[in-house]
Amino acid sequence: MSIVAVTVYRPKKGKKAELLSLLKLHLTVLRRGGYVSRRQSYLMSSENGSIVQVFEWLSKKAKEGAHRDQAWLALWPQFNKLCKNDLMKDLPEAKKPFANFDKI
């Protein structure tokens, strides 16, 4: 069974463009490893400047495999330089009955 992932990244000041490039590379690495589906992923912008990414893991086993993949793990120091992870509940959109985001 596939798993839909929703992640929230808050770019550090002046790092949004670099983060967007890294998010595209992130999915490329996951696809090469056979961990995520070919379905369209989404990058969206929150009112507070956070970036929301939605993609589909092929399975729980695939997700676990990615978390052991050195190519994928090598991306995380870059993420740490460019952003911090936020919680969905802290997005302004999460306080509305119908969350709407701008598509990137």
**pLDDT one-digit tens code per residue, 42-87:** 999 999 999 999 999 999 999 999 999 999 999 999 999 999 999 9
**Structure token digits, residue 30:** 């996951």
Q: pLDDT value at position 55? A: 97
Look at residue 4 and give its three-state secondary structure.
Answer: strand
Q: How many CA atoms lie within 13 A of 78 on its CB side?
A: 14
Q: pLDDT value at position 5? A: 96
Domain limits for position 36: 3-98
Residue 103: φ, ψ to 5°: -75, 135
DSSP code of 30?
H
Is 103 part of a structural domain of the chain?
no
Q: What is the mean pLDDT of residues 25-42?
A: 95
Q: pLDDT value at position 34? A: 97
Beta strands in the chain (DSSP E): 3-11, 42-45, 51-57, 83-86, 102-103
Q: Which amino acid, 103?
A: K
What digits encode the pLDDT tens for the residues 3-12? 999 999 999 9
**Structure token digits, residue 76:** 């995380």
Total domain count, the chain: 1
Is 48 part of a structural domain of the chain?
yes
Q: pLDDT value at position 51? A: 98
The dihedral formed by the CA atoms of 83, 100, 29 and 4, expressed in degrees to the nearest 10 = 120
CATH number assigned to the domain comprising residue 78: 3.30.70.100
**Using alpha carbons only, what angle is made at residue 58 by residues 57 and 63, rounded to the nearest 5 degrees?**
55
Distance (Å, whole) CA 69 – CA 56: 17
